[in-house]
Amino acid sequence: MLEEILRYNKSFVENREYRKFETDKYPHKKLAILSCMDTRLTELLPAALGLKNGDAKIIKNAGAVVSSPFGSVMRSLVVAIYELGVEEILVVGHLDCGMQHLDADRVLENMLRRGISKETLELVEYCGVNYHRWLEGFESVEASVKASVESIRNHPLIPKDVRVYGLVMDPVTGSVEQL
């Protein structure tokens, strides 16, 4: 797969196809979006929200979840606000999310099947990782989005004038509902 990607990239650059994507690092709409990494949203999310390249900072992870108050999501949002001028944040979850009803035990079993040793899992757990909490999914996408919105709104480093909203998207039609 990598060889195919590199071949395509060479042609992309030689043909200057990058020119239609030229922008700067500042989000033109002063917007940051926390979204799920679901492949159905890669092009659908910006298209359904009327966003072009350069309009928003898009942060993606499994489930559009703020899982730690000082993890990479909050770090990215803090940088986006204080260094890049973001004034508004959207947390966008979606229907039929793979994180909904995620079973940590099944993930751990799959790790063992793929060659991660039981000793490694025990060592990581000994170092303080609670796998069931770390791999925790959610029952309701709406409740998860609301929890992430509240985590951002109530974070001590997020200014009160930054507006934070929660949306749930249909990954087929692109329809969004504000929570």
Would you list the domain boundaries of the chain?
28-102+137-171
Judged against a pLDDT cut of 90, whether residue 26 lies above it is answered with yes
Report which of 20, 25, 35 is spatially closest to residue 55, judged by C-alpha positions.
Answer: 25
- The pLDDT score that the predictor gives to residue 28 is 98
Q: Read out DSSP for the chain?
A: -HHHHHHHHHHHHHTTGGGGG---SS-TT-EEEEEE--TTHHHHHHHHHT--TTSEEEEEETTS----TTSHHHHHHHHHHHHH---EEEEEEETT-TTBT--HHHHHHHHHHTT--HHHHHHHHHTT--HHHHT--BS-HHHHHHHHHHHHHT-TTS-TTSEEEEEEE-TTT--EEE-
**Percentage of the chain surpassing pLDDT 90?**
93
- Rounded CA-CA distance 117/129 in Å is 16
Distance of CA 39 to the CA centre of its chain: 11
- Rounded CA-CA distance 5/22 in Å is 21
Tell me the CATH number for domain 28-102+137-171.
3.40.1050.10
pLDDT band with cut points at 50, 70 and 90 for residue 126: confident
77 vs 20, 111, 160, CA distance in Å? 27, 31, 14
As annotated, the binding site for Zn(2+) includes 36, 38, 94, 97
- The pLDDT score that the predictor gives to residue 68 is 92
Predicted confidence (pLDDT) per residue in 39-52, tens digit: 999 999 999 999 99
Judged against a pLDDT cut of 90, whether residue 136 lies above it is answered with no
As annotated, the binding site includes 36, 38, 94, 97
